[in-house]
Amino acid sequence: MAVKLITAMLYFVTVFYLGWRGWKETKGASDYMLAGRSVNPFIMAMSYGATFVSTSAIIGFGGVAAMFGMPLLWLAFLTIFVGVFIAMVFLGKRTRRMGLTLNCHTFPELLGKRYNSKFVQSFSGGIIFFFIPVYAAAVLTGICRMTEVSLGLPYEWMLIGITAILSLYVITGGMKAVMYTDAFQGTIMAAMMLFLLGYTYYLLGGVIPAHEKLTAMSHLMPQALQKGGIFGWTQGSAQGTPLWLVIYTTLVYGVGIGVLAQPQLVVRFMTVSSDKELNRAVLYGAIFLLLTVFVIFVVGALSNAIFFDNFGKISIQMAGGNLDKIIPVFIERIMPPWFSAAFLLAMFAAAMSTLSSQFHIGGTSLAHDVSQVVLPTKRDAKQINQLGIVITILATLIWSWLLPPSIVARATAFFFGLTGAAFLPAYVFGLYWKGMTKSGAKVSMVGGFTVSMLWMLFIHKKEAVAIGLCKALFGKATLVADAAPGSTMFLLQWVDPNVVALPVSISIAIIVSLVSRSLAEDHIQLCWQNN
């Protein structure tokens, strides 16, 4: 315990120093929101990766991998190919150029100025502000569960303590403090995950014996998962079954595609000074995600074999049925004692890097994109942004108390899917298609958001049952709950909202843009001035 506390103290001293340095270098709104547009490519890539890979990925999705197994490696592939290569090469450069040309400081402002629409800016800012606290709460829950298991400290104490620490440097230091600390924290994360993978394979006798052992354990897969369509941790699932739909529509598709429209990631493209920096950042970002997302999905699945060898139980049994505790229990019960302290710091790094970015983007969305557009004021922009961050932090803290167990991965998938449906067509078409109109953007964003929310409230079982609105209005858990078991209608309850909402959003964006009035030619030329 003493070693953990001393190591944690050294870590926080470093974080506060970097936060102080960010505060010293923050002179105006551009520094506060975009780090002066002059960030080193390594820092940008590490900040991008550390923001993307949080405790929701390591603790939450690591626990999901322990339950569903190796099929989650498809998500690891998408995070690298889509989340880094496609995002930086095909979207990042145009985002940086257009953002600089139009003098944009936030993702909603980029959309608003591209379409010359205050509604687009305020509507997108409102979605981010209202819903990012749910995603942030999932990340905060992940690190608090880790410290609960590792240090034996009460979950509620950690919620307040970690939130207070983050508040100090996010509110005062802005984007520079966020990105400096992200780079430091990302480096810790990558080093710890590399050791974790190597030691896991060492315990199981090597790569091939490890996977053979896990394959031979398929008969131990819980009956409920087998009935849902899972064959085993390496064998995958039966196509078209409920759990196949959960894995591939919610976890792989929803998160793997939704990453392209994550406002806290998009804004990082506007922090570098040239396309050359983005090119350099691709390699750094890909390596980082390979060492984090890929590693934790493999380790999560293999944890079943190690737990069974040592305790005669699979992972979900060791964690008492709570997915969010599988990785923390694995670290505490299996890994060397010194690694427990180091990994705890890596999880602090993962949580703090993502939370700082979430608080920052949520606060600036409220202050810069909603209040400044709807209710313009002459007050200092930095102070307004700081107030927005405070409100976002408080909302996150409340959600962290309300969310149920085993929620980390699902809350993350919820936000990724929602933003994908609402923002992705307007964002991508806005960068590549001059014919995308203001009306097309508005209808696409509102339509994608509406379809996504309606599907969650009345069709998708997890959210519909938890919220209960469908039950209250129609007397049944979902609108298709009474369909014949195994039928297409019945299986819709496990189809992620984004599978329906994103195609709808894309279709209406194209149709409405083709029949609506184009933006002024001089405005289009301005947007494409550097593209």
A 10 A CB-CB count for 157 gives 13
A 10 A CB-CB count for 273 gives 15
Residues contacting 398, CB < 8 A, separation 6+: 133
Better pLDDT: 387 or 14: 387
Cα distance between residue 443 and residue 445, in whole Å: 6
**φ, ψ at 346 (rounded to 5°):** -60, -35
pLDDT exceeds 90 at position 345: no
Which pLDDT tens digit goes with each residue over 226-267? 999 999 999 999 999 999 999 999 999 999 999 999 988 888
DSSP string, 250-318: IIIIIHHHHGGG-HHHHHHHTTSSSHHHHHHHHHHHHHHHIIIIIHHHHHHHHHHHHHHHHHS--HHHH
Average pLDDT, integer, range 197-225: 95
Better pLDDT: 327 or 273: 327
Better pLDDT: 334 or 347: 334
Average pLDDT, integer, range 490-518: 96
pLDDT of residue 34: 46
pLDDT of residue 342: 76
82 to each of 87, 90, 282, 288, how far by Cα in Å?
6, 10, 11, 14
Which of 132, 49, 40 lies closest to 364, judged by CA? Answer: 132
**SS3 letters across 398-422:** HHHHHCCCCCHHHHHHHHHHHHHHH
pLDDT exceeds 90 at position 459: yes
pLDDT exceeds 80 at position 206: yes
pLDDT of residue 177: 57
Average pLDDT, integer, range 203-226: 95
pLDDT exceeds 90 at position 372: no
Which pLDDT tens digit goes with each residue over 174-191? 555 556 666 676 777 788
pLDDT of residue 396: 87
pLDDT of residue 15: 64
pLDDT exceeds 60 at position 53: yes
- Work out the pLDDT band at 30, boundaries 50, 70, 90: very low
Residues contacting 217, CB < 8 A, separation 6+: 232, 233, 304, 305, 308, 314
For residues 50 and 290, is the Cβ–Cβ distance under 8 A?
no
DSSP string, 69-105: -GGGHHHHHHHHIIIIIIIIIIIIHHHHHHHHHTT--
Residues contacting 255, CB < 8 A, separation 6+: 75, 78, 79, 412, 413, 416, 417
pLDDT exceeds 50 at position 275: yes
- Work out the pLDDT band at 32, boundaries 50, 70, 90: very low
Better pLDDT: 9 or 120: 120
**φ, ψ at 516 (rounded to 5°):** -105, 170
Lowest mean pLDDT segment, chosen from 65-79, 89-103, 347-361, 438-452? 347-361
Which pLDDT tens digit goes with each residue over 311-344? 999 999 999 998 888 998 999 899 988 787 777 7
pLDDT exceeds 90 at position 467: no
Q: Where are the alpha helices (DSSP H) in 27-154?
A: 29-34, 41-52, 55, 61-68, 73-80, 93-101, 107-114, 118-151
Q: Which two tokens stand for residue 262?
A: 């994550």
For residues 408 and 56, is the Cβ–Cβ distance under 8 A?
yes
pLDDT of residue 116: 95
For residues 415 and 128, is the Cβ–Cβ distance under 8 A?
no
For residues 59 and 279, is the Cβ–Cβ distance under 8 A?
no
User: Which position has the token pair 């590399």?
Assistant: 194
**φ, ψ at 529 (rounded to 5°):** -55, -40
Cα distance between residue 102 and residue 500, in whole Å: 33
Q: Which two tokens stand for residue 146?
A: 């880790």
Q: How far is CA 489 from the centre of its chain?
A: 30
